[in-house]
Amino acid sequence: MSKTAKLDLGENQIELPIIEGTEGEKAIDISKLRGTTGFITYDNGLGNTGACLSDITFISGEKGILKHRGYLIEDLCKNSSFLETSFLVVNGELPNADQLNRFKTAIKEGSKIPEGVKNIIKSFPQDAHPMGITSAAMVALSGFYPQFLDQDLSADQKTQIIPLLMGQLKTICAAVYRHGQGKDFIDSDSSLDYTADFLYMMTGEKPNEDIAKALDVLLILHADHEQNCSASTVRVVGSSKANLFASLSAGIDALWGPLHGGANQAVLEMLAAIQNDGGGYEKFIAKAKDKEDPFRLMGFGHRVYKNFDPRAKVIKSYCDEVLEKLNVNDPLLDIAKGLETTALNDEYFAARKLFPNVDFYSGIIYKALGIPTNMFTVMFALGRQPGWMAQWKEMIESPAMRITRPRQVYQGKTSETF
């Protein structure tokens, strides 16, 4: 017999079904709560709310584990490419050679962006933030691919639009970078792999293998992260049956914020500020602990991880390796390591279980690869796109899909107030 939880509300007692996940998580299904008792639940920031059932990604915040479709992130970084991981995240299985070939070909064929989208990118001021341009370019694609605006896409259309948008976003991100540099755009080179092609379109030079590999691992690390702020945004927008272009554009906007993907830019700005201040990070730790000061240690803390973010571990070990291969000696890395050690030994951070997250070290690698700071969050978006599309696909294919429409507890004036 399935388990239930008993809720005693005085005159109302109700038994609520318990749902168990395959990795042992437990949830109380409250979908009948309001209809039966008149009560709703209140969960500020939705930290205790499971908004969907999902097969894509599993995170154990307590143990510091991240798995996509059952595969550990560490193994995917070691043994797969970004495109293989993307295929896995979106389709549920790693591709065989033929599937991977077809996926790659479809992405390559989708890598040429419409002239109109190029013009939209060019119409932005050169110093506009790349995330704003990327989001605008993504939603602009809706005007150029009207065949994908149907409310209910066929299986074939879904198979087409996912690699198409992986190709389009790669070219858009590179063009956004070129625009910021005041340079002409470069067309995709179909002889190159995904990440190498992206770097080629950014720089005009075919990258060396180590650089392309380093970036490929960074993209894998960002591929999906279950119901984070941007993935939830993609689901919320998609739940109204808005098209995928609009849903992804909204996801890009949500990612931009410094408490989410924008943290990678904020970390590097923080490390540079510490360097300019003479390198003493203790002052910044004290600021982060001061409740009167809005400053937070960027790249530290996570809603789900109450232990090391496994992605941060991979990136940290990669950081030394990449910097050595590129022959880069970055003093910001020493500041980051010192800051991390000091924070981890500080009672404030220990008590709140605040550990470095994925953004803490990623910026140092991006910087070593020659990517400007304001492009960091765009790199995150490029990596996260398969996850957003997997979340959207899973949602629209679920028979349980309904529009997302939370409730509230009204606390404003009533007619009796007057």
Tell me if 358 contacts ligand ACO by CB under 6 A: yes
- For ligand ACO, the closer of residues 130 and 207 by Cβ is 130
CB under 6 A: which stretch of 50-58, 95-103, 161-169, 352-360 binds ligand ACO? 352-360
CB under 6 A: which stretch of 66-74, 127-135, 260-268, 402-410 binds ligand ACO? 260-268
Report the alpha-carbon angle 301-306-307, nearest 5: 100
- For ligand ACO, the closer of residues 103 and 300 by Cβ is 300
- For ligand ACO, the closer of residues 117 and 381 by Cβ is 381
Residue 252 beta carbon to ligand ACO: minimum distance, rounded to whole angstroms: 14
Element at 66 (helix H, strand E): strand 65-68
- For ligand ACO, the closer of residues 141 and 364 by Cβ is 364
Q: Which of 108, 260, 316, 393 binds ligand ACO (CB under 6 A)?
A: 260
Contact pattern for ligand ACO over residues 305 through 344, marking x by CB under 6 A:
----------------------------------------
Tell me if 366 contacts ligand ACO by CB under 6 A: no
Q: Which residues contact 312 (CB under 8 A, 6 or more apart)?
A: 355, 356, 357, 358, 360, 361
Q: How many helices (H) and strands (E) does the chain have?
A: 18, 6
Residue 34 beta carbon to ligand ACO: minimum distance, rounded to whole angstroms: 26
How far is the C-alpha of 365 from the C-alpha of 377, rounded, in Å?
A: 13
DSSP 113: P
Residue 305 beta carbon to ligand ACO: minimum distance, rounded to whole angstroms: 8
Residue 275 exposed, middle or buried by CB count within 10 Å (0-12, 13-18, 19+): middle
Element at 68 (helix H, strand E): strand 65-68
Q: Which residue is listed with tokens 């294919």?
A: 397
Report the alpha-carbon angle 379-113-238, nearest 5: 65
Write 195-198 long-range contacts (CB < 8 A, 24+): 195/82, 195/219, 197/111, 197/170, 198/170, 198/173, 198/174, 198/382
The total of other beta-carbon atoms located within 10 Å of residue 52's CB is 18
CB under 6 A: which stretch of 4-12, 68-76, 232-240, 353-361 binds ligand ACO? 353-361
- For ligand ACO, the closer of residues 206 and 289 by Cβ is 289
Q: Does residue 179 have an active-site annotation?
A: no
Which residue's CB atom is positioned nearest to ligand ACO?
Answer: 301
- Active-site entry in 224, 302, 320, 330: 302
How far is the C-alpha of 15 from the C-alpha of 29, rounded, in Å?
A: 10
What are the φ and ψ backbone dihedral angles of 239, each rounded to 5 degrees?
-70, -20
- For ligand ACO, the closer of residues 84 and 224 by Cβ is 224
Residue 263 beta carbon to ligand ACO: minimum distance, rounded to whole angstroms: 4
Which residues within the stretch 225-244 sit at the binding site for ligand ACO (CB under 6 A)?
Answer: 228
Residue 226 beta carbon to ligand ACO: minimum distance, rounded to whole angstroms: 12
How far is the C-alpha of 371 from the C-alpha of 417, rounded, in Å?
A: 57
Residue 312 beta carbon to ligand ACO: minimum distance, rounded to whole angstroms: 9
Tell me if 263 contacts ligand ACO by CB under 6 A: yes
Q: Which residue is listed with tokens 């409250």?
A: 30
The alpha helices in 204-309, defined as continuous H runs, are: 209-221, 229-239, 244-256, 263-276, 282-289
Q: Which of 113, 202, 354, 371 binds ligand ACO (CB under 6 A)?
A: 354
Q: Which residues contact 109 (CB under 8 A, 6 or more apart)?
A: 163, 164, 167
Q: Which of 10, 45, 294, 399 binds ligand ACO (CB under 6 A)?
A: 45
Structure-token pair, residue 43: 């969960």
Which residues within the stretch 275-304 sit at the binding site for ligand ACO (CB under 6 A)?
Answer: 288, 296-303
- Active-site entry in 197, 224, 309, 359: 359
- For ligand ACO, the closer of residues 172 and 298 by Cβ is 298
How far is the C-alpha of 214 from the C-alpha of 309, rounded, in Å?
A: 19
Residue 221 beta carbon to ligand ACO: minimum distance, rounded to whole angstroms: 10
The total of other beta-carbon atoms located within 10 Å of residue 141's CB is 24
Q: Does residue 193 have an active-site annotation?
A: no
Residue 411 beta carbon to ligand ACO: minimum distance, rounded to whole angstroms: 21
The total of other beta-carbon atoms located within 10 Å of residue 115's CB is 9
Which residues within the stretch 46-85 sit at the binding site for ligand ACO (CB under 6 A)?
Answer: none
Q: Which of 18, 259, 286, 350 binds ligand ACO (CB under 6 A)?
A: 259
What amino acid positions are annotated as catalytic residues? 302, 359
Residues lying near ligand ACO in the complex (CB under 6 A): 45, 228, 259-261, 263, 288, 296-303, 352, 354, 357-359
